[in-house]
Amino acid sequence: MEFVLDFLSRLITQFQSPTLGFLIGGMLVAALGSNLKIPNAIYQFIVFMLLMKIGISGGIEIRQADLSAMLLPALSSIVIGIAIVLLGSFVFSLIPSVKREDGIATAGLFGAVSASTLAAAIVLLEEESILFEAWVPALYPFMDIPALILAIVLANIHLRKTSAGKESKVDVAGIVKESLRSSALSALILGLALGLFTRPDRVLETFYEPLFRGFLSILLLVMGMEAYARLNELRRVAHWYAVYAFFAPIMHGLMAFGLGYIAHLATGFSPGGVILLAVIAASNSDISGPPTLRAAIPSANPSAYIGASTSVGTPVSIAVCIPLFIALAQVVFEL
C-alpha cells in the first residue's frame, strides 16, 4: 500500500519533471497542428551527441572497471533481449488478426533499445542522485543486437515455411554488421572507443556533458511530436498492437529488474544499474531498429511496428516505466 502511494506520488512529481514535460509538450504541439519544427539536421546531431556522451563516459569507466562485474549484467542483457522477442512473437502468434511477420517485427523492436529513453533515465537518475556504474548504458548493444537478429531469423524461418519459393538464407553476420554500422550504434561505439583509448575527459566535461540535459529536452520534444504523428498509422492496424505496446515495456522492465537484482546480490551491481537495465529492457528501438527491420523483413508492415513502438511504447517507457522502476528500487534497496 505504502509502495502504491509512494509510486503514485512519484508519478505525479514525474509529471512535473521537465523530461516528461517535453515529451508531452511535443505531443500537444503536434496534436494542435503547430508549425513548430526541429530541423532534421539538429535532430540527427542531438542523437549523435547524446550517444557520444553515453559512449565516452562508459568507455572511461570501463577502462577502470572490474570487467568481471560487467559479465553478469551483459549476459542478462542478451538473455532479456532474446526472451522479449520469443515472448512477444509467441503472444502475437495467438492473435489471428496479426500477420505473423508483423508480430515478430514488433517483438523485435521491443527487444531492441531506445537511446532517447536511456538518456532520459540517466538524467532522471542524476536528478534523484541515484548512482550507477557508467558502463551500464554500454549494455545497449548486448540487448539490441541479439533481439533484432532473432526477430529477423524468426521472420525468415516463418516466411520460408509459407512461401517455399524464395530460398533466402538469413545472413546473421550481415545483420550484425548492419546493426553496428547504424548511425546510433556507430556513435555509441565510437564514443566507447574514444573513452577507452584516448583521454577525452576534458572535452567530455566541457562539451558533451553540459549539453546532455538540454539536448535531451529537445529530443524528447521530437519524440513527442513523432509519437502523435504516428498515431494515425497505429489506428490503421489492429488495436492489439497498442495493447501490447502499453503492457510489454512494463513486463520487460520488471523481468530485467529481477535479473538485475540477482546481479546485485551476486556481484554488487548497483541499484542505479538495476534501474537502468530495467529501463533498457523496457525501451523499444525508435531510431536504428526500424530501418534494420524494414530492410530485413520487407513484407512486414512498418505502420504496425513503428506505430506501436513510437506512439505507445516510448511514451509508456519514459512516462510510466522510469518512475515505476525508480520507486521500486527505492523500496527494494531502501534508498
Partner 1 sequence: MTLHRAEKVVIITEKMISRGVCEILEACGATGYTIVAAGGKGSRNIRMTSERASVIDEFANVKIEVIVNDKAMGEAIMDQVAEKYFADYPGITYIEDVQILRPAKFEHD
298 binds, among partner 1, Na ion, a copy of itself, none (CB under 5 to 8 A by kind): partner 1
Spacing of C-alpha 32 from chain mean position: 27
Cα–Cα dist 167/164, whole Å: 7
Nearer to Na ion, 80 or 123 (CB): 80
List the single partner that 207 binds among Na ion, partner 1, a copy of itself, none, CB under 5 to 8 Å by kind.
Answer: a copy of itself
Least distance CB 242 / partner 1 (angstroms): 18
Which partner in a copy of itself, partner 1, Na ion, none is near 118 (CB below 5 to 8 A by kind)?
none
Q: Which is nearer to partner 1, 306 or 326 (CB)?
A: 306
Contacts of 79 (CB under 8 A, 6+ apart): 259
Q: How far is 230 from 150, CA to CA, in rounded Å?
A: 26
C-alpha to C-alpha distances, 334 to 130, 141, 305, 320, nearest whole angstrom: 12, 30, 38, 21
Point out which residues bind partner 1 (CB under 8 A).
37-40, 42-44, 222-223, 225-226, 233, 286-287, 290-291, 294-295, 298-299, 302, 306, 310
C-alpha cell at 280: 533498457
Instruction: Give exposure, 98-114, as e/b (b: 16+ Cβ within 10 Å).
Output: bbbbbbbbbbbbbbbbb
Which residues within the stretch 281-320 sit at the binding site for Na ion (CB under 5 A)? 283
The smaller minimum CB distance to partner 1, of residues 18 and 291, is found at 291
**What would the DSSP string read from start to end of 124-147?**
HHHHTT----TTGGGGHHHHHHHH
Report yes or no: 49 and 210 within 8 Å, Cβ to Cβ: no
Tell me the closest approach of the beta carbon of residue 224 to partner 1, in angstroms.
11
Give the integer Cα–Cα distance in Å for 25 and 39: 17
- Give the nearest distance from C-beta 127 to partner 1 in angstroms: 25
Contact partner, 268, from a copy of itself, Na ion, partner 1, none, Cβ < 5-8 Å per class = none
Q: How far is the CB of 308 from a copy of itself (least distance, A)?
A: 24
List contacts with a copy of itself (CB under 8 A): 15-18, 20-22, 25, 28-29, 32-42, 44-45, 48, 127, 180-183, 186-187, 190, 193-194, 197-200, 202-203, 206-208, 210-211, 213-215, 217, 221
Binding site for Na ion (CB under 5 A): 283
